[in-house]
Chains A and B, each alone.
Chain A
Amino acid sequence: MRTLADLSLRWKIPLRVVAAVLGTALAVTVALVARDYDIVRQNLEGHARSMGRVLAHTLVMPVLHDDIWRAYEILQSAHEPNPAAPELQALVVLVTDADYRVFVSTRPRAFPIGTSAAAPGGAYGLLRAELSRGSPTDQRILEPTDSPLFFIMTPLIADGVALGHVILAYAQPALLPRFLGQVGRAGWVTLVVLLILLPVSWVWARRTAQPLLRLAGAMKQIPLELEAARLADLPRSGDEIGQLGEAFRRMVAEMQVKQEMERQMLSSERLAAIGRLTAGIAHEINNPLTGMLTAINTFQRHGEDPQRAERTLSLLQRGLTQIRNTVSALLVEAKVEDRFFAPEDIDDLVILVEAEAHAQAVRIVVDGRIAEPVPLPATLLRQIVLNLLLNAVAAAGEGGTVRLNAYSSPQQLTLAVFNDGAHIEQQDMAYLFEPFATGRETGHGLGLWIVYQITRQLNGEIAVESEPGATTFTIEIPYGKS
């Protein structure tokens, strides 16, 4: 799934602009609604307070004179609907006497004259308790909790005596329609702003993203198409993107130089390896050739003697055999059909090396054995292990120790040969598996070459770890795969 983080900058930037515009619009709308509500509420409160004061003032005489109808007419005139500001119209205007009984109200059916103003219950029931609190001559605003109403209570005072109260009940200004109206207006403004900003941000996004996209494209060509990457049309500006492009160009140039150098090094290395190999083969073949030529020469000079002929032929045969052995060692083949490598092979190998080890006073320890045959050619594996063991015995030196460890997993055989002799120098590591790269006086220098060739032909891997007193050759050969 594509997450937002995976989106191209081409889309991200306009989306962020939209989000910023929407966020701003939302914040402004909320602020405006809150402010609007405050203003409406303050207006209403101010209006209600002055209305309460005017009514209280005007109603003193009718109340004193018990003139209910006059009082009612005054309430009616104060209660006239105002279409421009419907919220300013009180829901109920109530005039109560000193005992909180209805003197007159704008809704006589709900508040019959002479009944308790608390009779309708709800918030009206609470007002009575409120009346007993605070100064009796102060105008008060009461907002009972859980009530959609709020009340302005103004005392009716004649000569300092409270005759009763004028109670104006108002609905709390409805927030929702106001909010929806504001949201509607904000929505339109936002739409207009977006219509202007979206193309701008689109162009802006393209301008910002284009060099980055080209840079990203060029980077994808590394390291295979350095030349194409170098020629990519990258931004040339002083800002961060320009600096990035500049750095990229420099990096590509350096990589090109490095790649060229590596190629040259590889080529010279290969030439050197071929030289060494050629010299080794020449040397290996030249040795028997020299002996054979000398023998032929002697035979030509002193010929006739069947015994000598016999000896010469024998010598020629040995020399040619030696050459053939050298050549066949170089052409290691793993095509031989063979039995599986079995646990007994490990024992055989140890016995085979035992004599040599005994001569050198080297101890051979087997740390691990395989439990059952693994489907790998026994002869080739024996060859590998034998070579490694002989090398290890030679390397371990007088009184040294050689350890052999073999273990198998369902799909891989691992063989590890350890010795505690002198370690392999760093500079020799590179040529370790080359033919004739022997580190010793004896031997023809083909042991590790053969190990390497067989391992590779069996799709295995060789790892060498060497430090003073601990050198381990680890061979991992997979099997069981198709």
Chain B
Amino acid sequence: MDRDVALLEACGRRAFLRGVGALAALTVLPSHAADIPVRIGLTPVFLDDQMSFLSQWRRWLEVKLGRTVVFVQRGSYREVIDLLRAGKLDFAWVCGYPYVRHRQELKLVAVPLWRGEPCYQSYLIVPADDSRTTTLAELRGKVFAYSDPDSNSGYLYPRYLLTTQGENPDNFFSRSFFTWAHRKVVEAVGIALADGGAVDGYVWETLAELHPELTRTARVIERSPPLGYPPFVARSDIPTVELARFRAVLLDMADDPQGMDLLHRLRLDGFIPGKPELFDEIARMAARVRNP
């Protein structure tokens, strides 16, 4: 608790300093920079009104950045990462797993705070009417739903768990498939298309609040330890000024009434700069899965 309070206080102080810095940066930006849009990559959002949310967020960012903002959405993490690595995107909100794999090519911009922490968990779920299964190990030979092959919570963690138990994740399940979105993992497990699934704990908890009828169809059997929350990252060759400016805008979001409102709709508390070490655990899990 003490740590959380200290963090928030620190945030407030730093936000003020960054605000001043941002103002200074705006004046030194090249005149043509305003015409080149900031391209931000996003993976599927689970909100019902995501279009209206994204357009509001985009307008808010445009005001704060003083530049045109373009959101680029793709169906999978990989496509977003590829675009980022190819320099076609400036920033992207990606999962910790691809981040750690391409850490050298990417720059960490900011990490969201969820429930006061830059962390979240992976939940392993089974259909609600399956009252017997209590561990992942009991799903041997069953059908399993992953969210995305580049997802930490929806792919890496359950595979890591199986690896630590001496199982080969590739043939532990009779069948597995990707739904390409966490929310759809919940749906697939809820209708018993899959006998189990791995889902982002943040998405699950938010769905439990917004769509309890959906989470009621499934049951959480295991939770991962806290892992680094999916961060905002930038391409490696992003100009420092732009990186600093975008980071400043994100870090100040919680102090802005509109920004707070947008954060609230995402059930987030704000952003912190974050350190790459936050994702070391994910990197360790990835290494373990790669070399069992």
Once the chains are docked, how many angstroms separate the CA of A112 from the CA of B177? 14
From A67, A109, A112, give the contact of B143 (CB < 8 A): A112
A343 within 8 A of B: no
Given A69-B179, A69-B180, A69-B188, does the pair A108, B174 have CB atoms closer than 8 Å?
Answer: no
A104 within 8 A of B: yes
The 4 closest A-B pairs by CB, nearest first: A68-B177, A108-B193, A69-B179, A113-B143
Count of residues in B whose CB is under 8 Å from the partner chain? 15
A114 within 8 A of B: yes
Once the chains are docked, how many angstroms separate the CA of A114 from the CA of B141? 10
Once the chains are docked, how many angstroms separate the CA of A68 from the CA of B189? 13
B176–chain A nearest beta-carbon distance, Å: 9
Once the chains are docked, how many angstroms separate the CA of A366 from the CA of B100? 150
CB contacts between A and B, total, < 8 Å: 34
Chain B residues whose CB sits within 8 angstroms of the CB of A72 once the complex forms: 188, 193
Whether A114 contacts B184 by the Cβ 8 Å rule is no
Can you sample 27 A-B contacts with CB below 8 Å?
Answer: A66-B177, A67-B177, A67-B178, A68-B175, A68-B177, A68-B193, A69-B177, A69-B179, A69-B180, A69-B184, A69-B188, A69-B193, A72-B188, A72-B193, A104-B193, A108-B193, A109-B191, A109-B192, A112-B143, A112-B192, A113-B143, A113-B174, A113-B193, A113-B194, A114-B143, A114-B174, A114-B175
Q: Mark A109-138, 1 if CB is under 8 A from B, else 0.
A: 100111000000000000000000000000
Chain A residues whose CB sits within 8 angstroms of the CB of B143 once the complex forms: 68, 112-114
A residues near B (Cβ < 8 Å) are 66-69, 72, 104, 108-109, 112-114
B145 within 8 A of A: yes
From A66, A67, A69, A108, give the contact of B192 (CB < 8 A): A108
Q: Mark B162-175, 1 if CB is under 8 A from A, else 0.
A: 00000000000011
Chain A residues whose CB sits within 8 angstroms of the CB of B191 once the complex forms: 108-109
Chain A residues whose CB sits within 8 angstroms of the CB of B174 once the complex forms: 113-114
A68–chain B nearest beta-carbon distance, Å: 4
Q: A68-B193, A69-B145, A112-B195 are in contact. List 6 more A-B contacts (CB 8 A).
A: A68-B175, A69-B180, A108-B192, A108-B193, A109-B192, A113-B194
Chain A residues whose CB sits within 8 angstroms of the CB of B177 once the complex forms: 66-69
Chain B residues whose CB sits within 8 angstroms of the CB of A67 once the complex forms: 177-178
Whether A113 contacts B179 by the Cβ 8 Å rule is no
* A68, A69, A108, A112, most chain B CB atoms within 10 A: A69
Q: Mark B86-120, 1 if CB is under 8 A from A, else 0.
A: 00000000000000000000000000000000000
Once the chains are docked, how many angstroms separate the CA of A123 from the CA of B276? 59
Q: Mark B181-215, 1 if CB is under 8 A from A, else 0.
A: 00010001001111100000000000000000000
A411–chain B nearest beta-carbon distance, Å: 99
Chain A residues whose CB sits within 8 angstroms of the CB of B184 once the complex forms: 69
